[in-house]
Homo-oligomer: A and B are copies of this chain.
Amino acid sequence: MKALQRRTGIALWRQVADEIRQTVIPGLAANERLPAEAELATRFGVNRHTVRSAIAALEKEGILRAEQGRGTFLNDRKRLRYPIGRRTRFSSGLEDQARTRSGKLLSSETMPAPPDVATALSLPAGAPVIQLSTLSAADGVPISAATSWFDAGRFSEIAELYAETGSITASLARLGVDDYTRKTTAVEARHASSEDLDRLALSPGAIVLLTRGIDIDSDGRPVLYGESRFAADRVELLIDNRAAENPA
């Protein structure tokens, strides 16, 4: 165990909280007791007060629960498994993991396509595209904030349809796209921006998984280019490679 570091802009109590999340909790069953504060303090080489701050933070996040005289216990919560494959859709794939799923339209805008969007959608640079900002939630908990771009010529009514249905799949179906599949997906991880903190109800320092992908219709024409930002502590991305080949 390497010593925790000081003067890094991350308070020690927060580093301890992250360490508890990653090295203590994985070894515990739900509702099992954590080692005593004093023991954790020794293990991490910090003062007991610092461990208490860390536990208080994890309690506020709903991960732990401290009971006077008894100890601190692990609450039962698990990450959503979000499948990424050819048929990546928010609505399906989570049915068995959450009672309710919702999609909310935050904003929409028609604009000239930025270079990367134009490339992804095979449109000439500056062609009009519709940008949709959406927020997806499962059981009322925000899961991902997405920005999607569509060819404005082909899908002019997409914003109204999404606002009505809360589903990309349903909106596209009404516009004559009965099926679409994912071509490629790129995954990155970064610290949440202040906008992420706001939309996904995260606390500073939180992590977002950022995916960028292109969906194509059955003719191979690009339908949408999208970037999604997932709350990393609420999901894992499950990638099925059973029949995928690497690009050359």
Binding site for B on A (CB under 8 A): 1-5, 8-11, 13-15, 17-19, 21-23, 53, 57, 79, 81, 83-88, 93, 181-195, 197-198, 203-205, 207-209, 213, 232-233, 236-247
- The answer on a CB contact under 8 Å between B246 and A93 is yes
A227 to chain B minimum Cβ distance, whole angstroms, is 12
Copy number in the complex reads 2
- The answer on a CB contact under 8 Å between A8 and B204 is yes
Given A186-B238, A236-B186, residue A15 in contact with residue B204 (CB < 8 A): yes
Within 8 Å CB of A189, what residues of B? 189, 207-209, 232
A-B contact pairs, 26 of them (CB 8 A): A2-B198, A3-B194, A4-B204, A5-B204, A8-B203, A8-B205, A9-B204, A14-B205, A15-B194, A15-B205, A79-B188, A84-B239, A85-B244, A85-B245, A93-B246, A186-B236, A188-B209, A188-B232, A188-B236, A189-B189, A189-B232, A190-B207, A190-B233, A239-B244, A242-B244, A243-B243
A185–B189 Cα distance when bound, in Å, is 16
Within 8 Å CB of A198, what residues of B? 2
Closest 5 CB pairs of A and B: A9-B14, A189-B189, A9-B11, A85-B246, A189-B232
Dominant secondary structure at the A interface: mixed
Given A10-B204, A204-B5, A204-B10, residue A186 in contact with residue B237 (CB < 8 A): yes
